[in-house]
Amino acid sequence: MSRFLQAAFAICIFAVKVGAQSPVSISPAPAPPGRLPQAPSKSPAVPAASPSATPTTEDLVNSLGPTDLQAVITLLKSNFTDPDAITDTELNRATVEGLLVRLPRGVMLLPGKENPSAAAPSALYSEIIAGHIGYVRVGSLNTANLQALDKSLSTFGGKKVNALIIDLRASQATDDLALAAEFAKRFCPKGKAILTLRKPTGRQDRVFSSDRDPAFRGLVMVMADGDTAGAAEAIAAALRFYDKALVIGQPTAGRTAEYSDLPLPNGKILRLAVAEMISPEGRSLFPEGVKPDLPVEMSLAEKRQIFQLSGEKGMSPFVYEAGRPHMNEAALLAGTNPEVEAAEAAQQRRGRAPEKQPPHDPILQRALDVITSLEVYQKR
C-alpha cells in the first residue's frame, strides 16, 4: 500500500478518536463598569456559515494531498502529547481500521475461519395470484430450487399466466455463479451475457451467458431488498436490462463480488473482494448493488414472518385486506344481518387493548398494483 493511502486512513481514524474532545469555548470580554454588555458585532458583508456547509472529517481528510498527509504524520510524531499513540504499530492499526470503515463490503476482518452455515436453505415457493399473475420466491440459488423453478414455469404456462413477479428477497449469496446464472437464463435472451466477473487488470474476466431460449415471455417484476445478496443482485440487474423489469423494494446488499479468505499469522481471517460483478450494460454492481426503481419500505423482520407463514396461507392474505361484511341473500334467509353483527363486535372490542394488525407485504402489493395499472393502460 502506498504511503499516501496509509497516511489518509491513519489520519481519518485519529481524527475521529481525538476529535471527540470538546473544543474550548471563548467567552466575550466583560463590559466596562457602567455599560451594558453588547452583542457580538456581525459583518453584513459576510453571512454566517450554514451548518450544512461545515465539512466533515472525511471531507477534510480527502482534501489533503500526499504532501499534506505526510506532513500531518510527521507533525503528529513530533508534537502529539501522547507519543505512544503515534507508534508505527498504532499507525498501521489506524490504517487497517480506516480500510474496514471505508470499504465495508470489500474488506472484512473475521475472528477465525468460518464453518459452513448450518441454516437450512430457503426453498422456492410459487403460486398464482388473481388468476393470471405468477409469483415465484426463488429462495436459495441451488439445484433443487432450479428444478422447482422449471416446474413452476411449466405450470404457469398451462394456466395462461401473462405476468410474473420474481421475489429475490430470500436469495442469499452463493459461490456457484454458474448455477446462479442458470436461474437468469430462464428469463434472458439466448446468446446474451448475464453477468461478468471482472478481476484486477491482467486477469481474464469470466462471462456467464445464456445458451437457451427463455422459458417465460411476458411482463416481469422483480422484488429485492437488503437480504438480496451476491449473484441474486446480478440476476435482478440482468432482468431489469433484458426484460425491462421494474425492481421494487429496497437497495440490495451490495455484496456483488467474489471473495477470498486470507489467513493471518494469529489465526484471524482477512476476507477481501477479489473480483466484481458487472451487469449486462457494463456497469459495476460492486459495492452499490442494485437500487430499486420503485422504493418501498418494509421491515426485514415482518417480511421473514410473512415468508414463514406463506407456506400454509399463501401470499394473498398478506396483500389483500379482509372484506367488510355486507348484507346478502343468505343472511336474509337466515334472518341475520352481517353488518349489524360486525358493528356489535366492534362495539365490544372498544376499551380493550388494540388488536395486533396482521403482517402486510407492501412490496408485493406495489408489484401487483403496477401490473394491474399496466394492464388497464394497455387495454385502452
Residue with cell 446462479: 180
Q: What gap in Å lies between CA 38 and CA 57, rounded to an integer? A: 34
Q: Choose among 9, 13, 21, 7: nearest CA to 75.
A: 7
Run of H or E including 67: helix 66-79
Tens of pLDDT, residue by residue over 230-282, are 999 999 999 999 999 999 999 999 999 999 999 999 999 999 999 999 999 99
Residue intervals in the chain for CATH 3.90.226.10: 125-295
Q: Is 38 exposed, middle or buried (0-12, 13-18, 19+ CB in 10 A)?
A: exposed
Length of the chain: 380
Tens of pLDDT, residue by residue over 205-224, are 999 999 999 999 999 999 99
Quote the pTM value.
0.79
- Write down the CATH superfamily of domain 125-295: 2-enoyl-CoA Hydratase; Chain A, domain 1 (3.90.226.10)
The conformational region for residue 71 under phi > 0 = left, psi -120 to 50 = alpha, else beta, is alpha
Q: Choose among 61, 200, 174: nearest CA to 116.
A: 174
Side chain identity, residue 52? S
Q: How far is CA 11 from the centre of its chain?
A: 30
Tens of pLDDT, residue by residue over 44-98, are 444 555 556 799 999 999 999 999 999 999 999 999 999 888 999 999 999 999 9
